[in-house]
Amino acid sequence: MKNTENRKKRTESSSLLSNLPSRNRAGRTWQLVFLSSTVIGILALTALLLNILDSSFGFVVLHAKTDPATFAVDGVALEDQTKGQLVSLLQNELSRGAYNKLENEKPFADRSRAEVYGIVIERLVKYDVQETWSLWQSVTRSGEIRTYAAGQYPGDKLIFISWLTTDFVSRPQSSEAVTAGIRTAIFGSLWTIFITILFAFPMGVGAAIYLEEYAADNWLNRLIRTNINNLAGVPSIIYGILGLAIFVRLMEKMTSGALFGLVDPTTANGRTILSAGLTLGLLVLPVIIINSQEAIRSVPQSLRKASYGLGATKWQTVWFHVLPNAIPGILTGTILAVSRAIGETAPLVVIGASTAISIDPSGPFSKFTTLPIQIYQWTARPQAEWRHLAASAIVVLLAMLLSLNAAAIVLRNRFARKY
Amino acid sequence: MRKTFETEIQQLKDELLVLGSMVEQQIVGSVEALKKRDIDASRRIYEIDLQVNARRYAIEEQVMVAIATQQPMAHDLRLLASILEVSGELERMGDYAKGIATINIRMGEQPLLKPLIDIPRMAQKGADMLHRALTAFINEDADAARAIPLEDDEVDNLYTQVYHELMMFVIQDAKTIERANWLLWVAHNLERVADRVTNICERTVFIATGEMKEIRATDDENSK
Amino acid sequence: MTETNSVFETRSLSIFYGNFMAVTDVNINIPRHKITAIIGPSGCGKSTLLRAFNRMNELVPDTHIHGEVLFEGQNLYEKNVDPVEVRYRIGMVFQKANPFPKSIYENVAWAARIHGFKGDMDELVESSLRQAALWDEVKDILKQSGLSLSGGQQQRLCIARAIAVKPEVILMDEPASALDPIATLKIEELMQELKQKYTIVIVTHNMQQAARVSDYTAMMMLTGETRAGTVIEFEATNKIFTRPSDKRTEDYVTGRFG
C-alpha cells in the first residue's frame, strides 16, 4: 500500500519534471518577445533622432542678391574690413531711416565687429537659399554635390552649415529662412507653460485632495471620478474648441487684458498667452488630478491613523503628513502632464496662436506663438530650407523638454527627503 | 484541538493511577505484614516506597514540562496544579504505610498486643476510599468526590474504637504501654491516610468547578 | 469596581458598519489606572470595540453606534463632542508601529506642537521618551529618522508620541503582535510602568500576554443569530485564566475553541 503510494507520488513528480523543458522554453520565448519590443522601441527613437539630426546639418547653396565683391573698398574684401569701414558702408547703403532705427535699437559704438558684419550680410548682401542637402547626402555625395552646384549655380556659394546655431535660437521669427529664428517661439512656449502650471497645478492638487480626503464615497463622487478619468482621454483639439469658446470668446475682456486696462482695448482680443495657458491647463488638469490622487492614495493609511490618533484634525493630517509624503508622486505626475502640454499644437492652433510674430511676448496678454506651432508651420512650407529649420527647432524643443523635466526631477528629489 | 497536549494530560492521569494503586498496595500490604508479623514483607514496603517516590518526582517533572511548553489555562491549569498536589498527597500516604512497616520492624520479637481486627478494616476502608477518590479525580467527577469524605467518619469511628480498646489494655496493665503505643501509632497513620483522601477529593471538586474549599463530613476535632 | 473608579462605561453599545452589526450590546466598565485586556477569536470585534473608545471607527465611512460610551461620565458620542478632542484625551497605539517619516524628535514633538504646546519642547520630548523607556537608546540620535529604529523601538516611539500629548487613556491595538519576544516583553514592562499614570486598554491575540499584563480581561465572542461580537465575560484577569465562569471563555483560553 505504502509502496504503491510512493511510486504514484514519484510518477507524478516525474511527469512534472518531464514538462519542465517545455516550461523553460515558454519562458525563454516570452523573454525574447519582451526583449524585441524593447529593441523596436529603441530603434524607433533612434530613427527619430537621426532623422532630425540628418535635417539639421548639410550643404546649402546661397545666392547673394548683391555680390559681396561690389562692397570691396580699396581692394580689401568685405570679410576683411574693419568695424569702422563696415559701419560707414551701412551708413552709405541703407536709407537714413533704416540706419537710425538700427542705431536706436543698439548704438553701433556698442556693437561688436561680428554683429555689424552680420547686419551687413543681412541687409546688403542678402543671401538667398537656392538648394539644400541633408547631412547624409552631404557626407556621402559631397563631390557630386560640388560639381552639381558649380554647374547649376555658377557664382553662388556652396557651404556646409549647421541650421541649428546660437543665432537661430536667439533670433526672432523672420520671413527669410537664412535669418529666421525661434526666440519668440521659445518665449511664447515658456510663458504659456508658466501660465499652465500656475493654473493647473494648484487646481489639480486641490481637486485631488478633495476627492481623496474629503469627498464621501457616494454615487455623485464616483461619477465625478470616472469622468475625470474620461476627460484625460479626450482629444486635445476638443480642449482647443473649449478654450476658444470660453477663454477667447466668452472671457475675452479678461483674457485680452482689457479688463485690467493693460492693453489698448480697440486692438486687443482674447487670442493671448493667458488663453493658451488656461486652455493647456484645462487639458492637463485631469492628468494632474489623476496622478495626484494616485500619489495621495499611496500614502499609507497608517500615517493618517497615527495622526488622527494623536488628535490631529483632518486638515492637519493632510497638510503635515499626507501632502509631504505625496508630493514626490504629485510632482512626477505634473512633470508628465506639463511635458505633454509643451508639445501640444492642436488646441493652440484652434484658439489662434499667431505664427508670424517677431515681437517677444511681454506678459500674459501678449500675442504669441509657441515652438510646436512654429515647427508645424515651417514643416507645412514647400521650400526645403524650412524643413531644415523645423528639424533644428525640434532639437531645441526636445532640449527644452528634457531640461524642464530634469529641473522638475531635481525638485522632486529634494522633496523626497531622506526620511 | 490540542491533540498533543491532551495526550500528555491523559498520560499524566495514567501515571497518577499507577502511583495510586502502588500506594493502595503499600497501605494494605503494610498492615497485612504487621498482622502476620512478617518482617520481610515490611522490608518490601520500603522498596515500594522508593519506587513511589521516584514516580512522584517523574510526575512532577512531567507536569512542569507541560506547564512550560503548553501554557495551560483555566481547567488545564487547575488540572495540572492538582496533579502536582495529588501526587504529593499520594507520596505522603505511602510514607504513612512506610511508617507502619517501620513499626513492624521495630517491634522485633515482641508479639502483638492483641489480634488485629479493626486496624485491617481501617486499612481496607482507607485503600478503598483512596481508590474511588482517584477514580473520581481522573474522571473529574465532582459529585463522587464530594461523597467520599463523608465516609471518613467511618474511619474516624474505627480509630476511636481502637483507641479506647488500647487504653483499656494500658489501664489494666501499665507494662503494655509500649506495645499499645505501637498499635495506636499504626491506627493514627491509617486515620491520616483517610484525611488525605479528603484532600484529593477537594482537588477533584476544584478541577471540575474551580471552587477551592474544604469538604468536611463532621467536625474532626470534636470526634477525637 | 465602583462607579467613580471607572474611566469608561459602555451602555448597550452596538457598533455597525453600514447595515452590518459588528459588535452588539456591550456593557463594561473600564477601571482607572488598570490595564484592561480585550481578548477573543479573530473577527469578533475586539479592535472595533477598542476604536469605539476614541471614535477612531469614524475614519471608516458608514460606521455608527447605538448605545453610549461614557468617558468620565460624558457620552463620547453626543453631538457637541468633537472627535478631535476625544482622540487628544484618549491616545492610541497601533498594531504596526507607524512612526511618522520624520526625526525621532519631531515624532514626539509634532502632536504637542499642533495642540499648541507652549512649554519647553526639549523637556517634553525627553520626558516622553523616558516614560516610554526609549530615552537612553535614542538620546544621541534624536535627529535621525524614526524609521531607522528597530521594530520594538519604533513601537516605543509611538508610545512616547502618544504620551507626549498627555492623554488620560492609552488604547493599544495589538501593540506587540509584530515584535519579537524580547521587544514584546519590553513593551509589556513599559505598560506596567505606564499604568501608574494612565488607564490602558489593550487588544491582544496573545492570551499569555493578556494574562501577563492585564488586571482585567474582557472576553469577546461572536454570539447569537446575528453573529455579532459581544463581551461574554468581563472579570479580573486572574479569574479569567484560572476559573472562567463561561464555558466559551474556558474553551477559548484553554485553546479548545471552535
pLDDT digits (tens, 9 = 90+) for C115-133: 988 899 999 999 999 999 8
pLDDT surpasses 60 at C2: no
pLDDT digits (tens, 9 = 90+) for B124-156: 999 999 999 999 999 999 999 999 999 999 999
Q: Which residues of A touch C94 (CB under 8 A)?
A: 302, 305-306, 309
Percent of chain A at pLDDT exceeding 90:
26
Please name the amino acid found at residue C249: T
Q: Give the integer Cα–Cα distance in Å for B131 and B153.
A: 17
How many domains in chain B? 1
Q: Which residues of B touch C256 (CB under 8 A)?
A: 1-2
Q: What is the pLDDT of residue A380?
A: 85
What cell was used for A32? 525574447
CB contact under 8 A, C92 and A309: yes
3-state SS assignment for residue A397: helix
Given pLDDT bands bounded at 50, 70 and 90, which one contains residue C35?
very high
Closest to B70 in 3D by CA, of C255, C37, C237, C185 = C255
The verdict on B77 touching C (C-beta cutoff 8 Å) is yes
Residue of C242, C249, C252 to mutate for B, most B C-beta atoms under 10 A: C242
Q: What is the pLDDT of residue B221?
A: 46
Please report the sign of the dihedral spanned by the C-alpha atoms of residue C251, residue C254, residue C256, residue C258. positive
CB contact under 8 A, C89 and A311: yes
CB contact under 8 A, C165 and A310: yes
Q: What is the pLDDT of residue B208?
A: 92
CATH classification of A183-415, choosing from 2.70.98.30, 1.10.3720.10, 3.30.200.20, 3.40.50.2300? 1.10.3720.10
CB contact under 8 A, C243 and B78: yes
User: Mind listing the domains of chain C with CATH numbers?
Assistant: 3-253 (3.40.50.300)
B35's CB contacts (< 8 A; 6+ apart) are: B112, B116, B119, B120
pLDDT digits (tens, 9 = 90+) for A218-241: 888 889 988 998 988 889 999 999
The verdict on A36 touching C (C-beta cutoff 8 Å) is no
pLDDT surpasses 80 at C134: yes
Domain range for B93 is: 3-223
Q: Higher-confidence residue: C258 or A316? A: A316
Residue the block writes with cell 470660453: A246
CB contact under 8 A, A310 and C91: yes
Q: List the CATH number of the domain containing B90.
A: 1.20.58.220
CB contact under 8 A, A306 and C158: yes
- Give the closest of B5, B71, B78 to C242, CB-based: B78
What cell was used for A186? 521659445
Q: How far is Cα of residue C199 from the mean position of the Cα atoms in its chain? A: 9
| Prediction ipTM score | 0.91
Beta bridge partners of C220: C231
Q: What is the pLDDT of residue A13?
A: 61
pLDDT surpasses 50 at A419: no
Given pLDDT bands bounded at 50, 70 and 90, which one contains residue B222?
very low
Q: What is the pLDDT of residue A63?
A: 84
The verdict on B5 touching C (C-beta cutoff 8 Å) is yes
* Domain residue ranges in chain A: 58-116+124-161, 183-415
Please report the sign of the dihedral spanned by the C-alpha atoms of residue C67, residue C54, residue C208, residue B88. negative
CB contact under 8 A, C102 and A419: yes
